[in-house]
Copies of this chain bind each other. A is one copy, B any other.
Amino acid sequence: MENFNFYSPTEFVFGKGRAAEAGNFVKKYGGNKVLIHYGGGSAVKSGLIDIVKKSLENAGVEYCELGGVKPNPRDTLVYKGIELCRAEDVDFILAVGGGSVIDSSKAIAIGVPYNGDFWDMYCGKPVEKALPVATVLTIAAAGSEGSGDSVVTKEDGMLKRGTGSDLLRPKFSIMDPSLTQTLPAYQTACGATDIMAHVFERYFTNTEEVEITDRLCEAVLLTMLKETPRVIADPNNYEARANIMWAGTVAHTNICGVGRQQDWNSHGLEHELSGLYDVAHGAGLAVIMPAWMEYVHGHNVMRFCQMATRVFGCQMNYEDPEATALESIHRFRVFLKSIGMPINFSELGAKEEDIPVLVEKFGIGDGKTGGFVQLDKHDVAEIYKIAAHTVL
Contacts and interface: CB of A to CB of B under 8 A. Distances in A.
Given A218-B219, A255-B255, A258-B14, A247 B7 contact: no
Contacts of A13: 5
Contacts of A177: 1
B1 A11 contact: no
A220 B177 CA distance: 26
Interface string A202-228: 000000111111011011101100110
A215 B220 contact: yes
Contact of A223 (B11, B15, B212): B212
A212 B11 contact: no
B14 A5 contact: yes
Interface in A1-19: 1-18
A246 B3 contact: no
Given A5-B12, A219-B216, A250 B239 contact: no
Interface string A178-219: 000000000000000000000000000000111111011011
Nearest to A216: B219
Interface residues of A, number: 45
A176 to B, nearest CB: 9
Contacts of A10: 7
Interface string A7-36: 111111111111000000000000000000
Interface string A51-73: 00000000000000000000000
Residue from the set A177, A212, A215, A216 with the largest chain B CB neighbour count within 10 Å: A212
Contacts of A6: 11-12, 14
B213 A246 contact: yes
A183 B216 CA distance: 27
Given A14-B258, A250-B216, A258-B14, A243 B211 contact: yes
A16 B371 CA distance: 22
Contacts of A216: 216, 219, 250
B8 A8 contact: yes
A211 B5 CA distance: 28
Interface in A329-347: none
A219 B216 CA distance: 6
A229 interface: no
A18 B6 CA distance: 13
B259 A14 contact: yes
Given A216-B219, A222-B215, A255-B250, A243 B209 contact: yes
Given A8-B8, A218-B219, A258-B14, A212 B3 contact: no
Interface in A58-115: none
Interface in A261-281: none
A111 to B, nearest CB: 26
B3 A18 contact: yes
Nearest to A215: B219
Interface of A: 1-18, 177, 208-213, 215-216, 218-220, 222-223, 226-227, 239-240, 242-244, 246-247, 250, 255, 258-259
Smallest CB-CB A-B distances: 3 pairs: A3-B15, A215-B219, A209-B239
Given A14-B259, A211-B227, A246-B258, 11 more contacts: A1-B177, A1-B242, A1-B243, A7-B10, A209-B240, A211-B223, A212-B243, A215-B218, A218-B219, A242-B259, A250-B255
